[in-house]
Structure 1
């Protein structure tokens, strides 16, 4: 599998974090660049962008898997393929639909319910205790996220379908992430196939619902980087983190993604910094620290084969 290259099972780092937790954090770091890359690729329809990015990520991962002589690991059961392809495609399809049907700020706020849902669903689905410290950390993180993207936002009635898509997308990604731990028998290499399957679905949906736009050099470069990072390697790292790390911790630290993404956009000249960004960053950092240090006990969930 791919995960031994990232760390040894059970070895802990700072604040009790294992290397598998750090793999999940790597995915979060890559996702922080998605906003900047999407701005660079602006003009490409969202489903087309998803198909192109996931195709790049899937093909790159497939080359790595083939070089390691492990193509046979892509032979998984129907449950594994439904989980992988359905999660990757379903979340992004719902997210892009939300942005098309509702105001972006409000839709994005609802979409970022998924970190909160990951932490909360870890208890009933994985039998992992939350504890007061983790719950406070979750709420601090959510408060920071809401402060950053929800200030002054309205909720017009006509945008309700988009809001429902955003909430559904958050639930899909949270369920995909948490249940990945119960499918630990599915090797991370299989994610390469899942990305390609999701790319095919996104491509088919694009041909049905969107016009095709041929990217220029800037757009093509942005999609290439997107596929190698946020829509490629990030999925592999997230798979490792969810299956062998602590989903409660990663779900809380995920609140850093909108903060980091906003700071990168500001550095690229998009928008202006203010007290809201600084206050949100403090809330997210405090919530993440509390989640990392509060509650050491873990109860491992049994792996479920496909």
Structure 2
């Protein structure tokens, strides 16, 4: 598989994550950990079907440390993400959580064989500015009581960026291993749900369809395509391009009639596109 093709496959995860907000709204009032458990289970089923074509023997060659790393990465990051929004459901929380693409770009410079170019940094800053416009468009004030939630959001950003970048060092590990990550994360999410939450199931056909869509895409198949992108694609370009997710998410909400179009969205699109273009140029120059 070429680096360019792997990068495109990785970007499909960003496209799927752009539907995360829309489907999450549709899944209400299912609590976060229960939602995680269901979605990870669906993602695991997708992985089992995919792995069956290759033979389950490919999973036996993966060490337990890799499985522990992947499970903790997926479960831990999503637990932190939903916890942050419980503690501080403010626009700023989303902005802090969306530091992870920039952290991926910065962390990637420490990987063997990777070169972090100045244009990567400039592109990341421009794209982050565009994402900030999207996340903060509804306003919101700083509340000292929300500071713990902001801290959790930052830890989430570090966790997901670390998981993504370290996946690069596991390039020899087959992507089928994500199947075990998902199934183990589903078990942990179920246990955490039983201990911390009240069980509330989806409401009606739309609720169940939203949960199914989440499991098939943003909290399911996206982990497999992201794994391919992180291991074999252009990691800096993918990091910057990930800032398209909040923009595309907002456009999806506009198309669904949940959000209204605005000039802010248009300007954010320009910034994010400019940032991704600079990162792509930097990758081409260094490649």
Is TM (by shorter chain) over 0.5?
yes
Q: CA deviation at 1:106?
A: 1.4
- The CA distance in 2 between the partners of 1:64 and 1:188, in whole Å, is 10
1:280 lines up with 2:268 in the alignment: yes
Q: TM-score, normalised by structure 1?
A: 0.89
Deviates more, 1:178-187 or 1:210-219: 210-219
Aligned to 2:246: 258
- The CA distance in 2 between the partners of 1:54 and 1:288, in whole Å, is 30
Q: Tell me the secondary structure at the aligned position of residue 175 of structure 2.
A: coil
**8 Å Cα contact 1:117-1:171 kept in structure 2:** yes
Deviations 1:119-150 (A, max 9, x none): 00001244522212111111100110111112
Q: Tell me the secondary structure at the aligned position of residue 172 of structure 1.
A: helix
- The CA distance in 1 between the partners of 2:248 and 2:28, in whole Å, is 20
Q: TM-score, normalised by structure 2?
A: 0.95
Select which of 91, 100, 120 maps to 1:134: 120
Select which of 38, 62, 70 maps to 2:55: 70
**8 Å Cα contact 2:43-2:216 kept in structure 1:** yes
- The CA distance in 2 between the partners of 1:195 and 1:297, in whole Å, is 37
Alignment of 1:96-115 (within 5 A): 96-115=82-101
1:9 lines up with 2:32 in the alignment: no
Select which of 164, 167, 170 maps to 1:177: 164
**8 Å Cα contact 1:128-1:298 kept in structure 2:** no
Aligned to 1:3: none
More helix by proportion, 1 or 2? Answer: 2
Aligned to 2:255: 267
1:39 lines up with 2:25 in the alignment: yes
- Change in 2 beyond 3 A, CA 1:200/1:104: farther
Q: Which blocks of at least 5 consecutive residues in structure 1 are unaligned?
A: 1-7, 11-17, 300-306
**8 Å Cα contact 2:40-2:220 kept in structure 1:** yes
1:196 lines up with 2:183 in the alignment: yes
Q: Which blocks of at least 5 consecutive residues in structure 2 are unaligned?
A: none
How many residues align? The count is 284
- The CA distance in 2 between the partners of 1:125 and 1:133, in whole Å, is 18
1:244 lines up with 2:232 in the alignment: yes
1:55 lines up with 2:41 in the alignment: yes
Q: CA deviation at 1:298?
A: 5.7
**8 Å Cα contact 1:110-1:166 kept in structure 2:** yes
Q: CA RMSD in A?
A: 1.4
Aligned to 1:225: 213
- The CA distance in 2 between the partners of 1:136 and 1:287, in whole Å, is 7
Q: CA deviation at 1:253?
A: 0.2
**8 Å Cα contact 2:39-2:215 kept in structure 1:** yes
Q: CA deviation at 1:188?
A: 0.3
